[in-house]
Amino acid sequence: VLRREETRNALSPTLLAELERALAWVERAQTVKLLVLQGEGLVFSVGVDLPAVEALPPREAWDFFERGRALIRRLERLNVLTVAAVNGLALGGGFELALACDLRWAHARAVFGFPECKLGLVPGWGGIRLIRRHLPSSLALELLARGDYLGVRAAHAYGMVSRIFEGSDFENQVQAALEELGAGNA
Catalytic site positions: 96, 116
Contact 25, 62 (CB under 8 A): no
Give which of 44, 50, 45 is closest to 119, Cα–Cα: 50
Give which of 91, 117, 105 is closest to 152, Cα–Cα: 105
CB burial of 3-41 (b: ≥16 within 10 Å; e: otherwise) equals ebeebbbbbbbebbeebeeebeebeeeeeeebbbbbbbb
Distances (CA, A) of 123 to 55, 89, 95, 145, 181: 20, 16, 10, 11, 32
